[in-house]
Amino acid sequence: MNNDRLTLSQLARQHLQLRMMPIHRSLRAAVQRQQQIAASLQRPDLTHICISDEQVTYLLDRIDRDGLCSNPQPLATGSTAAEHAIEDRLRAQAQLLGCDLPIDLLQKELELSSFECDAVLLSVAPEISTAYERIFAYILDDLNRYLPCVELVCRVLSGDPNNYYAHKKLLGPMGRLQRIGMLKAQGIGKTGLRQEIKPAFGVVERLNEGTQTWRDHFFDTDERVADDDLHIDHLPQKNELGAIADALSLGTVSMVGIWGHTQCGGMDAVSLLAESTGKSVRVMPADPNKLPAALETACYVNAMLWLDTDALNALDSREYRQELVGRLLHSRVPVVLTGTQAWRPTALLAARNYVELYLQLPGATMRRILWEKYLPDLEPVRIVDIANRYRFTRQEVRAVSRTARCLAALDKPAEAVSWRQLVDACVLVSRQQGSRLAQPFIPKRGPADLILPVGLHAQVMEVARFYRALSVVDEDWGFGRIASGGGGIKVLFTGDSGTGKTLAAEVIAKKIGLPMLKVDVAQLISKWVGETEKNIDAVFKEAESSNTVLFFDEADALFGKRGEVSKGSDRYANLEVGYLLQRLEQFFGLAILASNLKDEIDKAFIRRFHIVLHFPRPQKEERQRLWQLAFPPDAPLDPAVNLNALTNLDMTGASIVNASHTAALLAADEGCPVIRFDHITEGIARQFQREARVMGAIDVLQAHTQFARAN
């Protein structure tokens, strides 16, 4: 072989041809053995038509002589010394290209044995040359069986008769090659040995080209692999987990329940239990027809099964639950259950040794440890700030660090991650897709955009500082242990519409650096019994899992007073309010409620707010600043317009913004190059109409008088 200046694809094809040589020798040996069998029969040409007495006698004699093994004499020969030398040269040339040969990469990335690798090559053979089909049919003595099957692969490649049945299992549905999708079962075999197999889509191309990796395409979809950097110290209850792992290893426990909020890291706990016991983790299938195979596979590969009970509850299938409990009753495979709510069927507790653990949310100290691990170059002060701000799980911290490095690479590849890039990555990881019940958005406006009386403005900004200090107070100082509910901060804003309540919530979220989740109260309330509670729970779960500021606008519609039961619907309305009260108390994040009517809020809610702020209508000084902000710097405002002339009009901030926008539209519609004072007064008049208010002649006269004096 001339190996000078070969491309990777040329090297790959030469290596494939080289690795097929020992397989060819095994095929020749199998052909010769079949020829010997045919020679021992007087009429071998009749074997495909009928079964003769002579053939039956021969088959019985062979079973008596060889036992149950179909391959008493090894056919596999392995590579010669010369072939090994050529292979070393091909590998050296591939290394000069900075690559591995595809077959070597296949074995290394997927951790395949030599037999498994050769089985893949043998299954690929008919895709390379159709001549292999007739060769296979000859060896199997059946013209209808021209594709590779389990019997053929084992007969040709099993070098040791004692490995025949082990190899047969490796090629079956529980074997690694089928579990990772490398080999596919073709049709339904009449027996396990007769099951035909074929390579998956893309295998032949990868072997011939060598330009793609294997690990990203072929993997066990039912197996959960722990992150390489996962350590038991990353969970607050490491001692309890260690004791459970020891019990699983000894067999004194066969079923474990791990319960807690989604932010507690339940999957990390499962992975650590598996690692400590030397087992892999496999997912319990949602299809009841797949349960027997899943249990059998878990037993075969020495794995524990993981069941997400939240997903089980979402299925709402009584038949599946009955089938699941029935299968687990008669199986000894270790099972780990996780979920936000405990699921403990009595029948399972009576039949299995069961223990459980309620996971705690990662505290500020644990979060600081995680940030130090994934971003070791971050300043200690920054670590404390980011850990207090974001209640991220280990996986989320890992995602943030990876995303921040990507942002840094786009900006300045030589620079380390900046604080701005880190905060942007936190917001990106926090931001969820949203739903019909609530929509997330990224806050854009800051403290300078919020026009309020000085004292009230300071109190609004205090909310952001309180939230950032919450971890220190509740966790480091221990106040969380004596507080009822789930902690967090609940804030109520009251005041007339347009006084800045929504903007204040946005400014707080911007100051903290969290996205906002704005709840659509109209979508939340349902006429169907029980649906409102489900919607409420879904909104709070979304806010908790996405680290967002939860904002309820027009909250009096949802958090209204409970009344006497005079009709059937009143009873359910009171239940909804009661459930909302309970869920709000359990919420451990920042919840802000805005209401136009404080008196309409149930007093039971008022008692649960940490901060209650009333937003008055803006006075003349605030209105002056609001009018100045209402026109952007690029707006073509007529220099003759003096906005101070409008400050005596009793208008809220939202009304002023709407009026200025209307004035701009009027000017643009006229084709006027500037926004004149008459455009503004017309915009004000229309805003008054929208609010069902009358802009009297006195108001207009005062505005024009002040405008004239100013000019």
How confident is the model over 16-56, as pLDDT tens digits? 999 999 999 999 988 988 888 777 766 766 666 677 777 77
Q: Which residues pair with 595 in a beta bridge?
A: 494
Task: Decide which of 148, 175, 209 is a domain's last residue.
Answer: 209
Q: Are residues 178 and 90 both part of a single domain? A: yes
Number of helical (H) and strand (E) elements in the chain, helices listed first: 30, 14
Per-residue model confidence (pLDDT) at position 410: 86
Could you say which of 575, 597, 615 is where a domain stops?
615
pLDDT tens per residue across span 426-447: 888 887 666 677 888 889 999 9
Q: Which residues fall within 8 angstroms of residue 678, CB to CB, at 6 or more apart? A: none
Residue linked to tokens 């643009």? 668
* 206 vs 212: CA distance, rounded Å: 6
Dist CA 322 CA 347 (whole Å): 10
Is 16 inside any structural domain?
A: yes
In terms of domains, do 386 and 344 share one?
A: no
User: What is the residue range of 383's domain?
Assistant: 364-430
User: What is the domain-level CATH number for residue 301?
Assistant: 3.40.50.300
Say yes or no: 102 and 196 in one domain.
Answer: yes
pLDDT for the residue 590: 94
The fraction of the chain above a pLDDT of 70, given in percent, is 88
Residues 404 and 531 in one domain: no
Burial class (CB in 10 A: 0-12, 13-18, 19+), 88: exposed
pLDDT per residue as tens digits for the range 494-528: 999 899 999 999 999 999 988 899 987 777 877 77
Q: What is the pLDDT of residue 479?
A: 83
Distance CA 174, CA 108 (A): 21
In a domain? residue 436: no
Local confidence band at 704 (pLDDT 50, 70, 90 cut-offs): low
User: Cα(384)–Cα(372) distance, rounded to whole angstroms?
Assistant: 10
User: Minimal CA–CA distance to 157: which of 75, 73, 267?
Assistant: 75
Residue 347 CB contacts under 8 Å (≥ 6 apart), including other chains: 325, 329
CA neighbor of 685 nearest in space, from 673, 675, 668, 697: 697
In this predicted structure, what is the pLDDT of residue 57? 78
Q: How confident is the model at residue 566 (pLDDT cuts 50, 70, 90)?
A: very low
In this structure, the answer to whether residues 646 and 630 fall within a common structural domain is yes
For the segment 319-345, the average pLDDT, to the nearest whole number, is 92
Asked whether the predicted pLDDT for residue 184 surpasses 90, the reply is yes
Q: Which residues contact 653 (CB under 8 A, 6 or more apart)?
A: 451, 498, 499, 500, 503, 618, 622, 626
Asked if residue 283 lies in contact with residue 312, where contact means CB atoms within 8 angstroms, the answer is: no
Condensed to tens digits (0 to 9), the pLDDT of residues 283-295 reads 999 888 899 999 9
Q: Examine the domain organization and report whether 57 and 195 are in the same domain.
A: yes
Same domain for 481 and 521, yes or no, is yes
Task: Decide if pLDDT at 628 tops 80.
Answer: yes
What pLDDT does 578 receive? 77
In tens, the pLDDT along 650-671 reads 899 999 999 999 999 999 999 9
Weakest mean pLDDT among 192-196, 428-432, 609-613: 428-432
**Are residues 86 and 47 located together in one domain of the fold?**
yes
Helix (H) or strand (E) holding 567: none
Residue 217 in domain: no
Which has the higher per-residue pLDDT, 210 or 550? 550
Asked if residue 358 has pLDDT above 90, the reply is yes
Q: Which of 614, 595, 590, 607 is nearest to 464 (CA)?
A: 590
Give me the pLDDT at residue 77, please: 65
User: At residue 586, does pLDDT exceed 80?
Assistant: yes
50 burial level (CB within 10 Å; 0-12, 13-18, 19+): exposed
- Alpha-carbon distance 423 to 391, whole Å? 13
- Residue 233's region, left for phi above 0, alpha for psi from -120 to 50, else beta, is alpha
User: Which amino acid is present at 49?
Assistant: I
**681-696, pLDDT tens digit by residue?**
899 989 988 888 766 5
pLDDT at res. 71: 54
Q: Whose CA is closest to 319, among 288, 284, 283, 285?
A: 288
Mean pLDDT within 323-345: 93
Residue 562 host element (H or E): none
What's the mean pLDDT in 637-649?
Answer: 89
Give the pLDDT band (50/70/90) at residue 570: very low
- Residues 169 and 263 occupy one common structural domain: no
Average pLDDT over residues 198-207: 93
CATH number at residue 684: 1.10.8.60
| 229: pLDDT strictly greater than 70 | yes
C-alpha 400/C-alpha 394 separation (Å) is 10
Q: In what order do the strands lie in the sheet with 590-595?
A: 438-441, 516-519, 549-552, 590-595, 489-495, 611-615
Q: Quick check: is 1 in a domain?
A: no
Distance in angstroms (rounded) separating the CA atoms of residues 93 and 8: 9
- Calpha distance 589→391 (Å, rounded): 9
| Average pLDDT value for residue range 457-475 | 91
Residue 2 within a domain: no
Average pLDDT of the residues in 616-626: 93
Mean pLDDT for the stretch of residues 577-600? 84
**What distances in angstroms separate CA 259 from CA 220, 307, 464, 545, one per listed residue?**
26, 12, 31, 16
* Average pLDDT over all residues of the chain: 85
* In-domain check, residue 586: yes
**Counted domains in the chain:** 5
Residues 47 and 177 placed together within one structural domain of the fold: yes
Domain end among 615, 650, 666:
615
- Evaluate whether residue 674 is within a structural domain: yes
- Whether 321 maps to a domain, the answer reads yes
Q: Could you tell me if 545 and 630 lie in one domain?
A: no
Residues 69, 187, single domain; the answer is yes
CA 379 to chain centre: 29
Does the structure show a pLDDT above 60 at 200?
yes
Question: Is pLDDT above 70 for 575?
Answer: no
Strand runs labelled E in 15-117: none
